[in-house]
Structures are given as C-alpha cells and as structure tokens.
Amino acid sequence: MSSQLIKNNFRMDRLPHIWCPGCGHGIIMRSMAQAIQNLGLDKQKVCIVSGIGCSSRAPGYMDFNTLHTTHGRALAFATGVKLANPELKVIVVTGDGDCSAIGGNHLIHTARRNIDITTIVFNNNIYGMTGGQYSPTTPTNDFGTTAPFGNIDKAFDICKLVDGAGATYVARGTAYHVNQLTKIIEKAISNIGFSLVDAISICPTYYGRKNKKGTAVQMMNYLKDSAVDTKVAEKLPPEKLENKFFIGEFKNTTEPEYTEEYMKIIKKYQKER
C-alpha cells in the first residue's frame, strides 16, 4: 500500500525504482517529497533537475517538472531554467561524483552566484552506477574498484566547499536521521539563494561490500552512531568526536540573490513598450 505522500508526489507507473536493496537513496528522495509537501509548494512550479548517476534517476520518479541532464551539468542546466523563469522552485538532485568531480566547477560557481537553487547531494561516497569506483568523497585509505590498494586521495567536505564558494544555506543530514533531513531540506528550499544539503546515503552494494561495512542495517547503524549534531558537538570534548562526522545546519545567511538582481537590471533598463 502506498501512502498518500507517494500517491501525491510520485509517478506511480514509474515505480519501483532501480536502486539496489538497502540503498539509502529512496529514503532521501522520500524526504525531499515530504519537504515539498510540508511547504505546500505548487507542483507545477517545482522543477527538479539531475545529472547522471544513481541519484540522478530520482527526478524520473517524481511527479513534477523534471529534467535529467548530462553528467555533472545539472547545476548549469538548472541555472538556465531558473534564470529563464525565476517563478520556478528549482531543486537539483546530484551525487558526490556528479557534483564535486565532473561538475565541481559548476558547483562552486552556482554557489558563488547565490542563485536560488536548492541542491540535494545524495552522497554515498562512491560511483555506484558505473560499479564502485572511488569518488571525491571516498575517505582516504578506503577501497574502490579503481582503488584496489586503497585510496590515496583526500576527500572533499562538500559543505565546506560550497560554504567557501558563497552558498547561503549549507547543511548535512543522513538517510538515517530522516525527520531532521526533511526539516533541513525544507529550510534549504525556503532559503532565497543557493542552498546545499549534503545528504549522506549508503551504498551496501559497492562501497559497503568493497570496504567490509556489512549489511545495509549495519551501515545505517554506522550513520546513527557516527553522526554528531553540530550544535551538540560544540559542547563535547575532542576525544568524543574522534571518527565522527557532523550533521545539522552549518550556514544560514541572506545575501542578494542572482535572479532578483538580474530582474532589477531589467526593471531599470527595459525600454518602454
């Protein structure tokens, strides 16, 4: 039996989705739908844009204006959509490889412009669609099919990256902490400017198996045990923060928004009709 949430926000004839059993992406996708519904957005004015990869299949299942683009370029396509029609609420669904490797340039520049686009990164620390290669968020020393002797790259902290680049709302959630994730996505969408939610997912099929992380349930337990809310973290001694990662809101500010600034130019210079 499908819930009302699913019936109202998904293309029922497109389900079930293609994701593997135990994958965290479905939870994040549902959380997005919940956030959109909680905000009472007009479905016809929501445009969900994605790139390529496991995460990027999400828009196909969601009953909105949806655009599945090329690898890494979702934010650039989304920028075109948003600037052409600023009435649309534009949400980008992307993965860790899609947005921080091949699309890294678009990520920092979209953040820099502070254009009103909400980006949800389905971050599973691996290239899943192509079969488990290491990504820019694969931790050092972990394994991937292209890191058979351990990964010697350092991992990106995507939140710090876009914070530095000029995003005005930055937060992290996980597929385990669903209620918090939904709240964060709501706030990200409500922010007028560039928002990014680093949504930590799990990939039991590739990342989990390669790195002996156990079953999907064990990986979920890892999220539960290792995530520390950033507000709580401030009060904890350093030894309690070893091997932990932070979730919650990192940045929530207001800066001039790109399309609003552009509309000011039009208003000032557009010739009388």
- Closest distance to other proteins from the beta carbon of 171 (Å): 24
Quick one: how far is CA 52 from the chain centroid? 13
Which of 28-36, 83-91, 199-207, 217-225 is the region at the interface with other proteins (rule: CB under 8 A)? Answer: 83-91
- For other proteins, the binding residues in 254-273 under the rule CB under 8 A are 262, 265-266, 269-271
Report how far residue 79's alpha carbon sits from residue 194's, in angstroms, rounded to the nearest whole number: 11
* 65 contributes a contact to other proteins by CB under 8 A: yes
* 16 contributes a contact to other proteins by CB under 8 A: no
Q: How far is CA 126 from CA 53, 64, 132, 209, 257, in A?
A: 10, 28, 6, 12, 33
Give the count of beta carbons closer than 10 Å to the beta carbon of residue 238: 6
The single-letter code of the amino acid at 30 is R
Cis peptide leading into residue 139 (ω within 30°): no
- Residue 150 or residue 164: which is nearer to other proteins going by CB? 164
Pick one of 79, 114, 124, 137: the residue that binds other proteins (CB under 8 A).
79
* 101 contributes a contact to other proteins by CB under 8 A: no
Quick one: how far is CA 226 from the chain centroid? 19
Interface residues toward other proteins, by CB under 8 A? 11, 14, 43-45, 47, 49, 59-60, 63-70, 73, 76-85, 87-88, 105-106, 108-109, 262, 265-266, 269-271
